[in-house]
Amino acid sequence: MANLLEGKTALILGVANRWSLAWAIAQAFHREGARLALTYQGDRQREVVRELGRELGALVLSCDVTQDSELERLAADLRAAGGGLDAIVHSIAFAQREDLSRPFLETSRSGYLVAQEVSASSLVAVARALVPLMSGGGSLTTLTYLGSIRVVPNYNVMGVAKAALEASVRYLANELGPQGVRVNAISAGPVKTASARGIKDFSKMLEGVAERAPLRRNTEPGEVADTAVFLASELGRGVTGNILFVDAGFQLLGM
């Protein structure tokens, strides 16, 4: 089969390191022939992400998605580097560590708001700033988790943010559909990454999934990445406004 993303240009936001889901997605997009731009947040990650970007011949830019000015600069930099985008992957989330371990009832107003701002409303800001670069239509994909629709111990405020993110996917899909832009989320099973390690008892989540999921194992980053390829490619052309589970089937369990 020909490369699924040959001739396409993709922007992937949220690479922090080799364990990031965004990095697995970047590798899969590269394998399928996409031209890539990656973003990282702040100086702390700069050298690591530049090094990763070199491996894939990717343009590497910084962007804090809570700052409209940074999103505008990102759009200008991408235009200057040659223009259009066919795919955007938003692989970004943040909540204060204490809100991922104490009772949900104890969530502070500021903790609630920061989780919403970074993890949910940033998708809308990203779409507003960057969809104008998708003149020929395209695909916007974000990453979510089952804690949006089920109570998962310690996921707490992030579950509420993911619920808002998934609703945002539906509203954006409806508004951007007429211009040929599809918007979807991948609901990934737990994967050990820097963000995931912030959730109290995360290793117990991994054990529970491996014991009970229909496939009796955890999710591989590559499985999430291949689904992102599908969504960004012509194969996904009829899919928009969806939450696709890539979780070894865990979401279907009731008991």
DSSP string, 53-72: HHHHT-EEEE--TT-HHHHH
The mark string for 157-186 relative to ligand NAP (x by CB under 6 A, - otherwise) is ------------------------------
Please tell me whether residue 154 binds ligand NAP under the rule CB under 6 A: no
Q: Which of 118, 123, 126, 228 binds ligand NAP (CB under 6 A)?
A: 118
Q: Which of 76, 81, 194, 253 binds ligand NAP (CB under 6 A)?
A: 194
Q: How far is CA 125 from the centre of its chain?
A: 14
Give yes or no: 40 in active site.
no
Give yes or no: 171 in active site.
no
Please tell me whether residue 145 binds ligand NAP under the rule CB under 6 A: yes
Please give the Cα distance from 231 to 169 (Å, whole number): 14
Smallest distance, Å, CB 151 to ligand NAP? 16
Q: Which of 42, 57, 103, 254 binds ligand NAP (CB under 6 A)?
A: 42
Q: Is 225 helix (H, G, I), strand (E, B) or coil?
A: helix
Please give the Cα distance from 1 to 93 (Å, whole number): 34
Smallest distance, Å, CB 30 to ligand NAP? 17
Collect all residues with Cβ–Cβ distance below 8 Å to 233 and sequence separation of at least 6.
4, 5, 8, 32
Please give the Cα distance from 70 to 94 (Å, whole number): 18
CB 38 within 8 A of CB 52: yes
What residue ranges bind ligand NAP (CB under 6 A)?
A: 14-16, 19-22, 41-42, 45, 64-66, 91-94, 118, 143-145, 188, 190-191, 193-196
Tell me the catalytic residues.
Answer: 145, 155
